[in-house]
C-alpha cells in the first residue's frame, strides 16, 4: 500500500559524506513504513540512485556553480520541482548549512529534522553535530535511529561487476588512490600523501606479487601521473576513467586499498575491502567507525584541523601532517593488514 505523503531525505554533497549517512537511512527506512524520496546534488547522486527502497531521487544543481548563472540554474530547478516536493510530509536534512535547511523548507513546507545548530523556526528540530564525534552518530540522531551495522551502503550492480570482470585483471590486485582532497564544497589538497612515497609502496607491493591499480576521479589524474613517473613497475591507471559504480566493482576484486581520506576510501570501506587510510588534516574518529579501516595519522601539534567542518586553511603553508607519515610505517601496516586477511 502506497503511503499518501512521502518522506524526504536530504544530503546534497559530497560523495563520501553521503555514504556516511547511509547506515542511518537504512535503519530509518526499516523502522517506518513510508515512501522515501531523496534530494541530492550531482556529486552524491550515485549513492542514492542505487539505494534500496528509495522510490525517487531528485538531483539538483547544488552546490551551484560560481557566478549568477549557477544561482539562476538552482532557482529554475527549484521552481520546476517545488510543486511535487510540496507533497512531502517530513524532511530529514543530514547537514547543518542554514541555507540548505531554509531551501528545503521553501521547497516542501514540511517539518524538518536536521543536523544544524540552532533551529531556524518552529518548523525545525535540530540535532547538532559534535565536532569530535563520528559523523554517522550525528546523522543517526537526526534520523532518530540506532544502526546495528555502521558500514556504509553501496550496492554494486551486476552490469558493473561484469564490466570489471571483462578487464581480465590477472593475479592478486591491490588498489591505490593517490589523489583525493577535492569535492564540490571545498578543496583540501593537504589531505594528499606524496606521489614518490606511493610509488615506493607500489613497487614493494609489486615485488610481493600484487598487480597495482590506481583509482580516483578526474581531479586525481595529475597525482596519478606524478606517481607513475616515480614507479619502477607498471600500474593500471583507471583514475578519471570509471563511474563510482565501476570503481566499487574494481575495489570488490582487490585484496586491499591504500589512500588518503577521500570518497574512494569511503567506498572501499563500504565494500568491505581491507583498507589503510592516511590522515593529516582530518580525523579518522569523525569519519570511520572503529575497525572499519586501518588508519595512519600524521602526528603534529596542529592536526587535525579539519573535522566535520570546512577547512580553515593550513597555518603551516604545507602539509606537514602528511609529511609526518613515513613510508616504512605505511609498509609495515600494509603487511600486517595483508597477513591478517590473507595470511596462512
Given this model, what pLDDT does residue 132 score?
84
pLDDT in tens, 273-289: 999 999 999 999 999 99
Given this model, what pLDDT does residue 268 score?
97
Domains 7-143 and 163-342 share a fold: yes
Between CA 266 and CA 30 the distance in angstroms is 23
Query: 307 and 281 in contact (C-beta within 8 Å)?
Result: no
pLDDT in tens, 172-204: 999 999 998 877 777 888 899 999 999 999 999
Evaluated on CA atoms 96, 289, 254, 190, the torsion sign reads: positive
DSSP bridge partners of 54: 36
Q: CB burial class (10 A; 0-12, 13-18, 19+) of residue 221?
A: middle
Given this model, what pLDDT does residue 131 score?
82
Q: Where are the domains of the chain?
A: 7-143, 163-342
312 HSE (CA, 13 A, CB side): 11
Given this model, what pLDDT does residue 2 score?
47
- Under CATH, to which class is 163-342 assigned? alpha beta
Averaged in consecutive runs of 10 residues, what is the pLDDT profile of the chain (344 residues)? 78 92 96 95 95 96 88 96 97 95 97 95 95 91 95 96 92 94 79 95 96 95 95 95 97 96 96 96 91 93 77 81 95 94 72
Between CA 153 and CA 51 the distance in angstroms is 7
Tell me, yes or no, if the pTM score tops 0.85.
Answer: yes
DSSP 271: T
Q: How many other CB atoms are there within 10 angstroms of residue 5's CB atom?
A: 13
Given this model, what pLDDT does residue 1 score?
37
Given this model, what pLDDT does residue 332 score?
97
Q: Is 7-143 a CATH 3.30.70.20 domain? A: no
pLDDT in tens, 98-146: 999 999 999 999 999 999 999 999 999 999 988 888 999 999 999 999 9
Amino acid at each position: 500500500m502506497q503511503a499518501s505523503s512521502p518522506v524526504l531525505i536530504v544530503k546534497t554533497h559530497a560523495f563520501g559524506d553521503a555514504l556516511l549517512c547511509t547506515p542511518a537511512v537504512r535503519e530509518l527506512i526499516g523502522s517506518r513504513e513510508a515512501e522515501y524520496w531523496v534530494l541530492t546534488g550531482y556529486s552524491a547522486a550515485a549513492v542514492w540512485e542505487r539505494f534500496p527502497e528509495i522510490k525517487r531521487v531528485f538531483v539538483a544543481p547544488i552546490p551551484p556553480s560560481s557566478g549568477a548563472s549557477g544561482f539562476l540554474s538552482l532557482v529554475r530547478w527549484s521552481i520546476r520541482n517545488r510543486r511535487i516536493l510540496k507533497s512531502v510530509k517530513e524532511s530529514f536534512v543530514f547537514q547543518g548549512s542554514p541555507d540548505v535547511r531554509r531551501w528545503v523548507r521553501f521547497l516542501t513546507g514540511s517539518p524538518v529534522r536536521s543536523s544544524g545548530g540552532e533551529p531556524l523556526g518552529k518548523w525545525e528540530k535540530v540535532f547538532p553535530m559534535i565536532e569530535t564525534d563520528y559523523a554517522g552518530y550525528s546523522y543517526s540522531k537526526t534520523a532518530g535511529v540506532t544502526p546495528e551495522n555502521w558500514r556504509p551502503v553501496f550496492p554494486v550492480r551486476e552490469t558493473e561487476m561484469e564490466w570489471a570482470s571483462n578487464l581480465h585483471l590477472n593475479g592478486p590486485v591491490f588498489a591505490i588512490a593517490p589523489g583525493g582532497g577535492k569535492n564540490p564544497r571545498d578543496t583540501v589538497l593537504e589531505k594528499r600523501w606524496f606521489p614518490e612515497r606511493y610509488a615506493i609502496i607500489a613497487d614493494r607491493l609489486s615485488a610481493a606479487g600484487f598487480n597495482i591499480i590506481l583509482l580516483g576521479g578526474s581531479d586525481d589524474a595529475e597525482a596519478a601521473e606524478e606517481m607513475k613517473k616515480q614507479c619502477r613497475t607498471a600500474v593500471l591507471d583507471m583514475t578519471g576513467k570509471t563511474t563510482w559504480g565501476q570503481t566499487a566493482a574494481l575495489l570488490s576484486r582487490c585484496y586491499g586499498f591504500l589512500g588518503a581520506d577521500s570518497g574512494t576510501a569511503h567506498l572501499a570501506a563500504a565494500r568491505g575491502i581491507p583498507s589503510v587510510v592516511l590522515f593529516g588534516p582530518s580525523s579518522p574518529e569523525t569519519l570511520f567507525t572503529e575497525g572499519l579501516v586501518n588508519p595512519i595519522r600524521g602526528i603534529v601539534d596542529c592536526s587535525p584541523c579539519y573535522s566535520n567542518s570546512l577547512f580553515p586553511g593550513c597555518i603551516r603553508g604545507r602539509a606537514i601532517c602528511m609529511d609526518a607519515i613515513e613510508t616504512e610505517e605505511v609498509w609495515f601496516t600494509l603487511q600486517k593488514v595483508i597477513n591478517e586477511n590473507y595470511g596462512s
